[in-house]
Structure formats: C-alpha cells, structure tokens
Chain A
Amino acid sequence: MPTNGKSDSKMEIPNGLWIRCDGCGEILYRKSLEQNLFICSRCSYHFRINARKYIEILLDADTFEEFDPHLTPQNPLDFPKYPEKVAEAQKKTELDEGFTYGKGKISSFPIILGVMDFNFMGGSMGSVVGEKVARSIRLAREEKIPLTIIATSGGARMQEGIFSLMQMAKTSAELALLAQERIPYIVILTNPTMAGVLASYASLGDIIISEPKALLGFAGARVIEGTIGEKLPEGFQTAEFLSKHGFVDIVVSRKFLRSTLTKIIDMLWGKGKAEIEPKREFVE
C-alpha cells in the first residue's frame, strides 16, 4: 500500500529544448509540448505535470487563493532518515508538502480545488496531506462550494506509519459529512493513483474522471504478480481498465479537463445558469 516516497525520475519532465516521449519515443520540441499541455502530439501520452500547472490549466486566470501552504510534516515515529527525505522533497518541489489546495473559479463558478503533487515523495499521504485534504473538504462544506481533487499518489507514506493509514479514515469521514450536505465532489485521477489514496478519497467522488492511460489500482503490479505467480495482462490497472469495470465515469484528455469539469459543475450545481467560457488556446 504505501510507497517509499521515491518518485520515478524517468517520469519527470526534464529541462532542455528537446524531450523524448515516454509513450512513443518521439523527440518533441519543449515549447510545443508545453503549449499542448504536456501531451505528446504523436501518441497522446500525458507527461506528468505538477500541482501549479493543473491549477493554471483548470482555473480562471489569477483566481486561485491558496490555503494552508505551510503545514509541514514531523517525524512521529522517529523513522530513520525521514526528515532528510522531506527536506530533499521540499527543496526539489519548492513546496512544504505534496498537496496544494485553495479557492478559485472555473468558468466563473466558485470551486475548491486540491491538487496532489507526485514529485513530493511520490505523492505519498502522511499526516499533512491527509489533514490538508480533510481541510479542503471541510472548506467546501462550510462555504457550500463544489470540490475537485486531482489525485496522484503511490499510496500512504510509510515513514509516518499508522498515522498515514489513519488519514484514509480521516479524509473519508470528512467526505461523508460533505455528502450529507449534498455538495458535489469530483475526482480527477492522474497517473499514477494507487493504494491508500485510491482506497480512500480518490475513489469517493460523486463523479470520477481520469486522464487516459493513468495507472490506477489498489495493489502494485509487482505485489500481485508475486502473489499469483504470473504476469499481468497488458492494460491491467489503467484508467481504461477501471472504466471498463465500472469504477471511472469519464476518461478524458487533459485538453478537455477544464471544459468537462465546467459542464459537470454547471449541470450538478449551476442550475443551467452559467455559460461555458472558452479558455485560452487549448479549448477546442
């Protein structure tokens, strides 16, 4: 279930003018890749992007107001080398932790948006991520504003042990209260969302959207292969696999996340009053 918080470095977008696509091997010009929201123009492979970028893509310009940016992790178990790992991740991401949330607007609709960041210890959930996710849910409940969480995570953070596990219950309990108030909660799953995060708030959306080909599952492929003693079939635990088995509503390209989310919020919450405003160059 948990991860060691090491991100898969091959999945990060390197600096430089030219970038090789992990999906098809094509060499891509960085500028045009960026204009295309880091989707390969040849094979539609979705490169991993950070929390800031998702906020930029989804929300109306300059509407995001961040909450609790400076909650920082402690070392409740005195786990060996954990503080060093946290410091390293903080330096690398320029974030205090792997979840960013706040209030903003999407096509003029108010929204609470929370985004996980895989570059921060593999998006793993410890006390801070759990607490901030819980607070984002509470904020949506108190302000009666729809909530969207963009998930990506290897699972619970091993170094905080039982405290990490309990964040699954904490966030899910907050969602029960949100559901009682009938406020929309929409999940966007991105590559990868696994284990303790998929087994809590990432599976509890009123509506669940996923980016194409995202790896989604409870147990890691290696653990399953080790248990059953055989190789897993191609496409196992992808967004398309989960969609086929009934656990994802919509698999949609990053290009259409904003318009899809806007439509859903409008239909669930907007009583048909608002118009969908086209945004920037990437709405078709």
Chain B
Amino acid sequence: MTISWLEFEKPIADIQDKIDELTAITGYESEISKLRTQIEKLKTKLYSDLTPWQKVLLARHPSRPYMLDYIDLITSEFIELAGDRGFADDKAIVGGLAKIDLGEDKHLNVAIIGTQKGRETKDKIARNFGMPHPDGYRKALRIMKLAEKFDLPIVTLVDTPGAYPGVGAEERGQAEAIARNLREMSVLRVPVVVIITGEGGSGGALALAVGNRVLAMEYSVYSVISPEGCASILWRDSDKAEDAAKALKISSSDLFQFGIIDEIVPEPLGGAHQDYKLAAKYIKESILKYLAELKNMTPEELIAQRVEKFQSIGVYKSN
C-alpha cells in the first residue's frame, strides 16, 4: 500500500521520492544510504515536536491501520459476529471471538470489538466513516455480554470521529444506546482492556471505552468534542480548529498526565501507518500485559476497580 503524506510531512516525502527514484537505478547505493540517514534524522526531529493539530491529523491519517488490520495482525483466528438482534448489523462496529497467539502453541481466547472506518470510498460509506448508529453500540454490548457469559476477557479498539448524528440514529435512541453501554460496561464481570487507536470521538468513543485499563496509542486523540466543533461553538469559526486542538488538550501525553489513560502505546516513528506490523506488535504486547495483570482478579474485584477508576475522575474544589 502506498502511504499518503500529510502537508507537514512534505520534507520527508520529498526525500522519500528521491530515494525511490534512485533505487530504481543502480549505482547510487551510497547516495541512498546518505538520504536514509537524513530522512531518519528529519523524522526524529519532526515527530518529536508535533503540534496538537498535527497529532490530530496523524490520528486521522487516511493510511492509519484500522480495527480489521489489527485483527489480521494480532489474532490467529477471528469469527466475526453480526447484528444487535433488534434492528440491524452496523458495519461501523466490528466485533467477534478471537484467538491471540501466545507462542509455543498457546492461545488466549478473547472477545474483540472496535470501530471500523473503511478504506476505499465504497467501504467508507458502508462503514459510515466509522460513525456508529445505536445498533452498533447495541451489537457491541451484545458481544460484551456474550463474553461475560462465557468468561472471556474483552478488548476494544476505538477509532471513531463520534456517534453518527442522523435522523435514524436519533429515532432509534443514540443517547440511550450510549448511556446503556456506559452503565453495563462498568459492571461487566470479566476484564476489559480498551485501546484508543486513532480518534476517540466523544461519547461515541466512550461507549466502547469503560475498561479496567484504558490505553491510547501515541498519536491518538481523545476528546469531548472535535477541534472543529469546539472552534465553531467558541469562536464561531471552524478554521480555528488548530487553536481548539491546543486548548482542549487531547493528545495521548495530555491524557496520561491527567490520569485518564493508564499507558501510552508507542507507535513506529512517524506513526502507526509507517509500519503496520510494528504497530500491531506494540498493541498486542500491551493487551497481553494488561490482561495478565487482570487475570487473577475476581469478578467483584474487576467491577470495583473499574467503577472506582471512573468515580475518581474529576477536578473540583470543596469549600
């Protein structure tokens, strides 16, 4: 797959183009090696000093790996389950039963659920750009309850601009579906590990993110509102999204500092889309690490820990 470059990445893209050109002809090995050193240096510099808005752009990068890419790379088997048993099968959310390979012929059975954005135009439309309807949240909860019934740990991967704002979504109770997930997820009797892999878009993301452990990938963002939405409400100008991204403090490092997430999952230099396999390896390591931590907790302990985690979030003063 060819990677598309963002505007601020143009200096890197230019060198990469040169490397590609020279690679096509022989006799430029030393030139190429020089350029490679140059590109690594440039990348290190550029990506260690990203603005909040540039992080938003990386989180939304069109080449960023999605749920199904990670499923391919993390699980050795996956059986997708479909439908909310009430109205529809929402393709913006994918969920099912999976085996994670532990090596030495050992496997861990889990339920894995996440949002899926879609890659090509047709797929994007089928996936509704990763914006779930209530049916999607209800499907997710159904699979979580199934996992609880059969004592399977739950992993969720979250990358959504938000819950879909549409007529059908309102008619079928978008608010109710999200609220119910928040309540029911908080008292699931099995371990729940959440990874924000890209965009954590407000309530639509939170509805899959009430976990014992909540992690975020390095270039993911998690926010109560999109920077564009914030800018248009606050300054009546969606072009001020860059300022809003800064004010809202939505990057993984902010979230970690605030105690909202438990760990920042590292990404390959330049973002997960530069190396799917490495990104998936980091995710898998984090999942296994935290599921191991949670393995010996009783259902009651898991519920208590999860509830307390969210009870303790908030900044206020008692006078």
Using a CB–CB distance below 8 Å, which chain A residues touch chain B?
1-4, 68, 70-74, 76-77, 79-80, 96, 127-128, 130-131, 134, 156, 158, 160-170, 172-177, 179-180, 195-196, 198-204, 216-220, 223-224, 227-228, 232, 236-237, 242, 245-247
A167 contacts which chain B residues (CB < 8 A)? 313-314
How many Å from the CB of B173 to the closest CB on chain A? 5
B314-A1 in contact (CB<8A): no
B183-A77 in contact (CB<8A): no
- List 7 tightest A-B contacts by C-beta distance, closest first: A219-B165, A172-B182, A127-B314, A173-B186, A203-B179, A218-B174, A70-B319
CB closest residue in chain A, given B179: A203
A71-B316 in contact (CB<8A): yes
Residue in contact with A161 in the complex, picked from B173, B175, B210, B250, CB distance below 8 Å: B250
How many Å from the CB of A101 to the closest CB on chain B? 15
Enumerate B127-178 residues with CB–CB distance to A below 8 Å: 162-167, 169-176, 178
Contact of A164 with B224 at beta-carbon distance under 8 Å, contacts A170-B313, A245-B173 already known: yes
Interface centre among B175, B186, B247 (most CB of A within 10 A): B175
CB closest residue in chain B, given A203: B179
A160 CA to B313 CA, complexed, in Å: 12
B311-A158 in contact (CB<8A): no
Per-residue A-contact encoding for B198-230, CB less than 8 Å = 1, 0 else:
000011001101100000000000111100011
A224 CA to B131 CA, complexed, in Å: 13
Q: Judge if B258 is at the interface, Cβ distance under 8 Å.
A: yes
Interface centre among A73, A172, A218 (most CB of B within 10 A): A218
Contact of A2 with B314 at beta-carbon distance under 8 Å, contacts A176-B184, A217-B170, A228-B166 already known: no
A161-B182 in contact (CB<8A): no
A177 contacts which chain B residues (CB < 8 A)? 187, 307
B314-A162 in contact (CB<8A): no
Could you name 19 residue pairs across A and B whose Cβ atoms are closer than 8 Å?
A2-B202, A73-B315, A73-B316, A74-B316, A79-B247, A127-B315, A156-B202, A161-B224, A162-B255, A166-B314, A168-B182, A173-B182, A177-B307, A198-B179, A199-B175, A199-B182, A203-B173, A228-B167, A247-B175
A8 CA to B224 CA, complexed, in Å: 22
Q: Judge if B85 is at the interface, Cβ distance under 8 Å.
A: no
Using a CB–CB distance below 8 Å, which chain B residues touch chain A?
162-167, 169-176, 178-180, 182-184, 186-187, 202-203, 206-207, 209-210, 222-225, 229-230, 233-234, 247-250, 254-255, 258, 260, 306-307, 310-311, 313-319
A160-B315 in contact (CB<8A): yes
A175 contacts which chain B residues (CB < 8 A)? 183
Residue in contact with A128 in the complex, picked from B162, B171, B310, B316, CB distance below 8 Å: B316
A176 contacts which chain B residues (CB < 8 A)? 183-184, 186-187, 307
B249 contacts which chain A residues (CB < 8 A)? 77, 161-162
B258 contacts which chain A residues (CB < 8 A)? 76, 162-163
How many Å from the CB of B68 to the closest CB on chain A? 25
A247-B224 in contact (CB<8A): no
B206 contacts which chain A residues (CB < 8 A)? 165-166, 168-169
CB closest residue in chain B, given A196: B203
A128 CA to B157 CA, complexed, in Å: 30
B182-A163 in contact (CB<8A): no
B224-A201 in contact (CB<8A): no
B179-A172 in contact (CB<8A): yes
How many Å from the CB of A130 to the closest CB on chain B? 6
B179-A200 in contact (CB<8A): yes
Contact of A218 with B314 at beta-carbon distance under 8 Å, contacts A158-B233, A198-B175 already known: no
How many Å from the CB of A194 to the closest CB on chain B? 8
B165-A236 in contact (CB<8A): no
A128 contacts which chain B residues (CB < 8 A)? 314, 316
A127-B316 in contact (CB<8A): yes
CB closest residue in chain B, given A224: B165
Contact of A172 with B186 at beta-carbon distance under 8 Å, contacts A162-B222, A163-B315, A218-B169 already known: yes
B233 contacts which chain A residues (CB < 8 A)? 2-4, 158
How many Å from the CB of B220 to the closest CB on chain A? 12
A220 contacts which chain B residues (CB < 8 A)? 165
CB closest residue in chain B, given A70: B319
